[in-house]
A and B are shown apart, each in its own frame.
Chain A
């Protein structure tokens, strides 16, 4: 990924890994601020949705890197939209304040 360097690739991925921890911690704080309980499988689901979305972006940009720019955009649009919708559903179920009865 970093031509000419043998080390940067590994450093990059280690930092990415570290950032994931920060993301999850932030998600937990967000849930707290909305007054929701921290349920581990809910947090995991939301994080999984986020991870899938990142993969879709990565897939589309890989295609763009291969000079298939239009295909990359279509990939992100067609596969990313359902992921965003699912994330919205998850947000509605697990994050947004419950409507009073």
Chain B
């Protein structure tokens, strides 16, 4: 019979198996109990982020010396302050409002550094002037009826902007800005003054070692609500020239290329924007929920470091910077540069909005990483196909040399033109590229598998497979369809907006529009 022929009889199998199963169950229960007690999820009110658990990607296997596209191919130049679109825009509007120059006078007569900027870039002034006109149309469209459809999205956006970050009567901005102080008092506020204000200790407290300093500050960044944090050495190559908040006219005429001596390190941190709203860009998305949290953390970090006796200066969004954020985010090992001109991070994809604090503490610096995200951009091009203004380049490989580095260059004038023309209240953002990027995904196990497997695969087959799935399984809109209806579009979105942003779900508005997007 069977019992003689096989090694283990049915009865024995069940007996020993049963005991083993019982033992495992006991062990499992013990382990489960322990894990529950220790788990981050037990911290009611203080979720995973505060425990640092949202920085879950192990970067160590991917550390490298230089971030992608940051090996200079020519002489590295620091950017002029006019390179920063929002400062440039403000200056241009001031010139026009003062009557000093009108568009029909042509780019050759445009005065000052703004004129120099546009003269060296033929064709761009035209786009910017067009954007200004479109902004007027956008405001009109908002008043005519879009304020009903996007009532909740607009209110959510403004809640952060006016209720949280920027009560900009020059008394109540978070973080405090030295330019506000200068405008209030009329006196120049150089960084040697501003960065040290509020320090009461006669001597700064010393850290046991740079490694101790890094560990503490990173924990504090998480404690202040930031999902990701990294620390880099302050590299003055990426600081604007002619820009220092707190100096008269922001230092445009007087500051030149000085670098404050106490600017030694930069702590970079940030959070994602709300996921479902971002997937329903343009009209239902906002940057400000993330900006607000990053700005709060910047303000808190500034004050924390000053309490320990060290000078600190926040660099924060919308336009309160002396630096370009993107290179520092890369050098702090948080992520990689992409086709769309954003820095992508493994945990959040393109959905990462950073702020930073510059200080003089000596830290153990993070090294940049290479998780093959930039390589994926070579073949993917989804952001370029989806960009409603065509601002993202289609080049297979990075082609444009900008200030000594060869990378993909976003056409910022075209991009801003879409901001100015979208169905939003304040014209401050489009964000389609952020939502459609394959890396911008929430944290589930299937994305974890892709995220961990793809950079470790030397053949590139995993990336090809993932890209094939992305392009064939996921349906996208036509790029033009994202635009406002008065601009030739359908106000489509990649996903339809979440229930809590649909005005018709809560307010007495008549739904006379169609959703064009996935649910």
Chain A residues proximal to chain B, CB less than 8 Å: 6-7, 10, 14, 18, 21, 59, 62-63, 65-71, 74-75, 78
Chain A binding surface, main DSSP class: helix
CA distance A7 to B41 in the complex (A): 12
CA distance A18 to B446 in the complex (A): 24
B473 contacts A66, C-beta separation under 8 Å: no
Name the contact of B473 in the complex, choosing from A10, A62, A65, A78 (C-beta under 8 A).
A78
Known: A62-B444, A62-B445. A74 touches B473 (CB 8 A): yes
Q: In angstroms, how far is the closest chain A Cβ from the Cβ of B218? A: 28
In the complex, B519 has a CB within 8 A of chain A: yes
Pull 30 A–B residue pairs with CB atoms less than 8 Å apart, ordered by A. A6-B41, A7-B32, A7-B36, A10-B28, A10-B32, A10-B35, A14-B28, A14-B32, A18-B21, A21-B21, A59-B446, A62-B444, A62-B445, A66-B441, A66-B442, A66-B444, A67-B279, A67-B495, A67-B518, A67-B519, A69-B519, A70-B473, A70-B475, A71-B474, A71-B475, A74-B472, A74-B473, A75-B469, A75-B473, A78-B473
Q: A66-B441, A67-B519 are in contact. List 13 more A-B contacts (CB 8 A).
A: A6-B36, A7-B32, A10-B32, A10-B35, A14-B32, A21-B21, A62-B445, A65-B444, A66-B442, A67-B518, A68-B518, A69-B519, A75-B469
Leading 9 A-B pairs by shortest Cβ distance? A74-B473, A10-B32, A71-B473, A71-B474, A59-B446, A62-B444, A6-B36, A62-B446, A70-B475
Q: Point out the residues of chain A lying under 8 angstroms from B519, CB to CB.
A: 67, 69
Chain B residues proximal to chain A, CB less than 8 Å: 21, 25, 28, 32, 35-36, 39, 41-42, 276, 279, 441-442, 444-446, 469, 472-475, 495, 518-519
Q: In angstroms, how far is the closest chain A Cβ from the Cβ of B17? A: 8
CA distance A47 to B262 in the complex (A): 64
Q: Point out the residues of chain A lying under 8 angstroms from B25, CB to CB.
A: 14
A10 contacts B444, C-beta separation under 8 Å: no
B445 contacts A70, C-beta separation under 8 Å: no
Nearest residue, chain B, Cβ from A76: B473
